[in-house]
Structure 1
Amino acid sequence: KDIAPWYSHVEKFAGISGNRDGIAVLPDGEFMPPMDMNIVEKDLAARLKSRYQGKRHFIIGRVANITVPHHGRVNCQYQNKCWLGCNFGAYFSTQSATLPAAVKTGKLTLRPLSIVKSIIYNRDTQKAKGVEIVDAETNQTYEYFAKIVFVCASTLNSTWVLMNSATDVWEGGLGSSSGELGHNLMDHMLNSGAGGRVEGFEDKYIFGRRANGLYVPRFANIAGDTKKRDYIRGFGYQGGASRGQWSGKVDNKRVGGAWKDAIAEPGSWGVGFTSFGEILPYHENKVVLDSSVKDKWGLPVLAIDAEIRDNERKIRIDASNEMKEML
Structure 2
Amino acid sequence: MVNLSCYMHRGAGSATHNKDRFASCADSLKDCTNDLMISLQIHQSTQLDILTRPVPSDPEDEAAEKFVAAHGGLDAVKGNEELVKQFANEMKLSVDEKVMEQLNSNVTEVLQQNQDRLEQFLNESVSASVVEGIRGLAAQMNESAKEQTFVCVQCNKEFHDSINGEKSCSFHRAEYDSWSKTYACCGTKNPCQAGRHRSNHHYDYIYGNFFAFARNITDYQDTVEQWVEIEDFNFDTSEKFTASVGRLLRWKLRGATPELSTILVRVGDVSISSPYLFRTFNTHDLEVASKVTDITHCQEPFLFQEITNK
Shorter-chain TM-score range: under 0.3
Structure showing the higher helix proportion among its residues: 2
Structure showing the higher strand proportion among its residues: 1
| TM-score normalized by the length of structure 1 | 0.20
Structure with greater Cα Rg = 2
| TM-score normalized by the length of structure 2 | 0.21
Structure with the greater relative contact order (CA < 8 A, sep ≥ 6): 1 or 2?
A: 1
